[in-house]
A and B are shown apart, each in its own frame.
Chain A
Amino acid sequence: MSELSDHSDTSFAPGDEGEHDVGARVLGYVIGLALALLLTATSFFVAGTTLVWQPSIPVALIVLAIAQMGVHLVFFLHITTGPDNTNNVLALAFGLFIVFLVVGGSVWIMSHLNQNMPPMDQIMRMQ
Chain B
Amino acid sequence: MAIAATAGHGHGHGDPHHIGLVIEHPGPAPKRVVTGFGFWIFLLSDIVMFSCFFAAYAVLLGQTADGPKGAELFDQRNVAIETVCLLLSSFTCGMASIAADVRNRLWFYLAMAATGVLGLIFLALEFREFAALVARGAGPTRSAFLTAFFTLVGCHGLHVTAGILWLLTMMAQVFAKGFRADIMRRLLCFALFWHALDIIWVAVFSVVYLLGSTP
Instruction: Tell me, in angstroms, the Cα distance from A88 to B157 when the chains sit together.
Output: 26
Which residues of the other chain, A, contact B198 by a CB distance below 8 angstroms?
72, 76
- Are the CB atoms of B195 and A15 closer together than 8 Å? yes
Q: Are A65 and B37 neighbours in the complex by a CB distance under 8 Å?
A: no
* Contacting pair B202 A72 (CB below 8 A): yes
The answer to whether B210 touches A8, judged by C-beta atoms less than 8 angstroms apart, is: no
- CA of A103 to CA of B211 in the docked complex: distance in angstroms? 15
A98–B90 contact, CB under 8 A? no
CB distance from B101 to the nearest CB of A (A): 8
- Give residues in A with beta carbon < 8 Å to B: 1-9, 11-16, 22, 25-26, 29-30, 32-33, 36-37, 40, 43-44, 47-48, 57-58, 61-62, 64-65, 68-69, 72-73, 76-77, 87-88, 91-92, 94-95, 98-99, 102-103, 105-107, 110
New A-B pairs, 6, CB < 8 Å, besides A15-B192, A76-B198, A92-B44 = A13-B36, A13-B40, A29-B95, A30-B91, A47-B213, A69-B203
Query: Can you list 21 A-B contacts with CB-CB less than 8 angstroms, sorted by A residue number?
Result: A1-B1, A1-B33, A3-B4, A3-B26, A6-B8, A8-B33, A14-B37, A14-B39, A15-B97, A15-B188, A16-B32, A25-B98, A40-B83, A43-B206, A44-B80, A64-B206, A65-B207, A88-B37, A91-B44, A99-B51, A102-B51
Query: Interface of B with A (CB < 8 Å)?
Result: 1, 4-5, 7-8, 11, 13-14, 23-24, 26-30, 32-37, 39-41, 44-45, 47-48, 51-52, 54-56, 58-59, 76, 80, 83-84, 87-88, 90-91, 94-95, 97-98, 102, 188, 191-192, 195-196, 198-199, 202-203, 205-207, 210-211, 213-214
